Amino acid sequence: MSADKLSKVEKLYEGKAKVLYQSTDPSLLITFFKDDATAFNGQKKGSIGEKGVCNNSISSNIFMMLEAHGIKTHFVSKLSEREMVVKKVTIIPIEVVVRNKVAGSLAKRMGAPTGKELPEPLVELYYKDDSLGDPMINRGHAKAFNLATDQELEHIETEALKINKLLVEFFKGIGLDLVDYKLEFGRSPEGVLLADEISPDGCRLWDINSGEILDKDRFRKDLGKLTETYQEVNRRVSSMVK
Ligand code: ADP
Ligand code: MG
């Protein structure tokens, strides 16, 4: 069945930023990107006008760029302004965080200054469980609690570093410093795929020239210009791929 003839069959899950629908093709889902924004494990809630439209467009373009460079992702097609067709996967419940510079919880944990360059990209694992506040784990925990196999963990970390090289270069080309970001992977019949989304919701992006924050930290820190920020990132990402 071709992806452009797909339609929604039933709602499977509503998350904080997206709604997942089963599509008419059993192996494909339709994700709907909402404007809802949350921070601090759901304690802060709000809405950012046009965020869903921007994140769908940004994520679609980034998945296409990664696919063109040999990364296997769940992306199939952009269906509409707010909808993306993706391959159905079983999400591995590990949030993979890749860091190029110190920021956020790493600054706190290590007592290091925000913005300090790391000698090499740092990959961190977090157990994806909102009720526990997504605690940081290591490979031992992931194995002991059957979150992923050794082979999957090896693949995920190698893939995350490959993805990092591509993303750092891509964002540099549009004047953005990719400080850190979160990735999710899922199991599918064709192996482990990069899933979920790549957008300013899950990335720290700083303007290379001005140092201006162009990501969800503007929402966390009440810095204003929220819609404008997502639109600006979308504008730059689109300019690179069209
Ligand atoms: P959350 O509140 O858990 O962050 P989101 O609103 O961001 O949720 O997204 C909805 C859920 O969809 C997430 O839990 C994510 O892991 C899951 N997901 C993303 N891509 C896929 C996919 N291809 N197949 C199945 N689930 C997916
Ligand atoms: Mg999410």
Mutate to test the pocket of ligand 1, among 38, 88, 91, 131 (most ligand atoms within 8 A of CB): 91
Quote the mean pLDDT of the chain: 97
| Mean pLDDT computed over 37-41 | 95
- For 75-101, how does the pLDDT look when each residue is reduced to its tens digit (9 = 90+)? 999 999 999 999 999 999 999 999 999
- 31 C-alpha to center of ligand 1: Å? 8
pLDDT in tens, 134-147: 999 999 999 999 99
- If you measure from the C-alpha of residue 53 to the centroid of ligand 2, how many angstroms do you get, rounded to a whole number? 15
d(CA 157, CA 65): 20
Q: Which ligand is nearest to the CA of 59?
A: 1
What CA–CA distance (Å, rounded) separates 164 from 175? 16
CB 63 within 8 A of CB 75: yes
- % residues pLDDT > 70 (the chain): 98
The reply to whether ligand 1 has any atom less than 6 angstroms from the CB of 35 is: no
Cβ neighbours of residue 65 under 8 Å, at least 6 residues apart? 166, 170, 240, 241
Among all bound ligands, the one having the nearest atom to the CA of 31 is 1
pLDDT per position as a tens digit, 185-210: 999 999 999 999 999 999 999 999 99
Question: For the chain, what's the residue count?
Answer: 242
Q: What is the pTM assigned to this prediction? A: 0.97
Looking at the CA of residue 201, tell me the nearest atom of ligand 1.
7
- Residues 61 and 70: their CA atoms lie apart, in Å, by 15
